[in-house]
Amino acid sequence: MIAADDRSQDSVNPDDAAQRCDVSNAARLVVSGPTDAAMNMAIDQALLESVDSGSDPCLRFYQWSGPTLSLGYFQSITDAQQYLDGLADKGIVDDSEQVQIVRRASGGGAILHDHELTYSIALGNCRIPGRSQTQLGASDWLYQSVHNAIAVCLGQFQCDAARFRDSEKSRVLSSQTNAEPSFLCFQRRTENDLITSGYKVLGSAQRRGRRSILQHGSLLIRASAFAPVLPGVQDLGGAIPGRLQLISSLAECLSRSLGIALIDSELSDRELDRAEDLSKSRFGASDWTNRR
Amino acid sequence: MSRDPAKLLYAESHEWLDLTADDGVAAIGISAFAIEQLNDLVYMDLPEVGKVLEFGDEFGEVESVKAVSPLYSPVAGEVVEVHSELPDSLEQLNDDPYEFGWIVRVKVSGDEGRDKLMDHAAYEKQCSEAG
């Protein structure tokens, strides 16, 4: 990684940004310490907005200040509460109220963030091969590129992970046809999920901006007491290093896969202000969390 | 009377706007091209009646395969009606994005952003250039 520079991350004219796409592969690397749930989601949204306004792409790694259940945008808060109450009823945990709940702006299933590493990548459509500026919907290229890179990285640590489409597709699909999707993301299967020894260890979701995409995901390191049926890569035999070395290796693999040159960076004042506002007005607000 | 796509205005973000009614209330939906790109919509979120929108404000979301996409308002005004049946009937959007597929009706408050919208021919050109 290149050391931080003084480049301002204030918004850039989108037309200039489009030209910049053609001549620059620079991207920011932000590493956040443990942060509360609403602020984590708010920072991701602020970075998406920043990129949408023309800033360089941003790869971020982060953790959570405590065990957190992040819901997909369209999931039911009642299902979340039932899931946590179920853990307490079964005597799996003493107090499910120590788990924070936050609603993501991306879709998919619920993720229990505990012994894991979360990443996000925000980049303009112009950085995605074959994607027009105003293209809608998911970017399969982004899912594939990120997940392939992480699979390669995990291979360095004796963890053999493959995309679901390349592994047990026919056997598992037959059992899930027409079934209601599982509440937990890691009990669902989609083509680009990373699978080790039959277990999903990496799942991601996307949210579109006007001319950009945010993808974020969770790499399970060890099983959580709040999701004991979901082992992580370490439980499955991987020799996973400490957090900083893992982040360094992942960043290197991702920079090669995505064709970006990462520069150590921090959130700008504008992004921090926007994230604080979003944390209060949206992701930490009960009418957002309880919206369905 | 069936809505004619050729008489609508279109945002770069693929929402369509029908300003042909006499009562100052515009209908908003998403284009056939958008629905095809989104590929299998599974959920839709609608705003509440009474919500005041500026041009370009997010007024709802759709979840398609593996992504949530916001919907951006192509007009400024107040939401006076939402198509509450639509989120449970998303499969019908493919067949009828312009008539059945209206998402909200908005009492228009001004011309804000009108210069950023395209007529049908210009929108078709944008779509063909996008591939």
Residues 22-61 of B with CB under 8 A from A: 34, 37-39, 42-43, 45, 61
User: pLDDT of A127-144, one tens digit each?
Assistant: 998 888 888 889 999 999
Beta strands in A65-163 (DSSP E): 68-71, 100-103, 111-113, 116-124, 162-163
> How far apart are alpha carbons A75 and B39 in whole angstroms?
20
The complex's ipTM works out to 0.90
Sort strands B52-53 and A162-163 into parallel, antiparallel or unpaired.
Answer: unpaired
Please report, as a single letter, which amino acid is at residue A52.
Answer: D
> How far apart are alpha carbons A57 and A191 in whole angstroms?
25
Of A105, A108, A135, the CB nearest to B130: A135
Residue entry with tokens 């090669």 = A256
Cβ of A134 within 8 Å of Cβ of B14? The answer is yes
User: pLDDT of A208-267, one tens digit each?
Assistant: 999 999 999 999 999 999 999 999 999 999 999 999 999 999 999 999 999 999 999 999
Q: Backbone phi, then psi, for A74, in 5-degree steps? A: -95, 10
Predicted local distance difference test score (pLDDT) of residue A9: 39
Residues 6+ apart with CB under 8 A from B121: none
Q: Please say if A159 is a catalytic residue.
A: no
Exposed / middle / buried, residue A202 (Cβ in 10 Å: 0-12, 13-18, 19+): buried
Predicted local distance difference test score (pLDDT) of residue A205: 96
Which residues from A are below 8 Å from B130, CB to CB? 132-135
Of B66, B72, B130, the CB nearest to A206: B66
The DSSP output letter for B56 is T
Which of the two residues, B17 and A8, has the higher pLDDT score?
Answer: B17
Q: Is the dihedral of CA B120, B35, B85, A281 positive or negative?
A: negative
Which residues from A are below 8 Å from B67, CB to CB? 106-107, 137-139, 205-208, 213
Hey, is the C-beta of B121 within 8 angstroms of any chain A C-beta?
Answer: no
- Residues of A with a Cβ under 8 Å from any B Cβ are 73-74, 105-108, 130, 132-140, 143, 190, 205-210, 213, 291
User: pLDDT of B40-61, one tens digit each?
Assistant: 899 999 999 999 999 999 999 9
User: pLDDT of A17-58, one tens digit each?
Assistant: 444 565 679 999 999 999 999 999 999 999 999 999 999 999
The C-alpha of A170 sits at a distance from chain B's nearest C-alpha, in angstroms, of: 19
Which of B65, B66, B63, B59 minimizes the C-alpha distance to B83?
A: B59
Of B13, B68, B129, the CB nearest to A207: B68
Q: Backbone phi, then psi, for A283, in 5-degree steps? A: -70, -25
Hey, is the C-beta of B64 within 8 angstroms of any chain A C-beta?
Answer: yes
Sort strands A199-208 and A194-196 into parallel, antiparallel or unpaired.
Answer: antiparallel
Q: Does the pLDDT of residue B5 top 90, yes or no? A: yes
The winner for highest mean pLDDT among A76-90, A93-107, A178-192 is A76-90
Lowest mean pLDDT among A244-248, B2-6, B119-123: B2-6
Q: Does the pLDDT of residue A7 top 70, yes or no? A: no
* Mean pLDDT (whole number) for A145-149: 96
- Are the CB atoms for A204 and B68 separated by under 8 Å? no
- Are the CB atoms for A269 and A34 separated by under 8 Å? no
Residue entry with tokens 């120590």 = A98
DSSP-based three-state secondary structure for A132: coil
Instruction: State the alpha helices, DSSP H only, in A55-192.
Output: 77-89, 140-155, 169-176
> How far apart are alpha carbons A224 and A218 in whole angstroms?
13
> How far apart are alpha carbons A155 and A201 in whole angstroms?
13
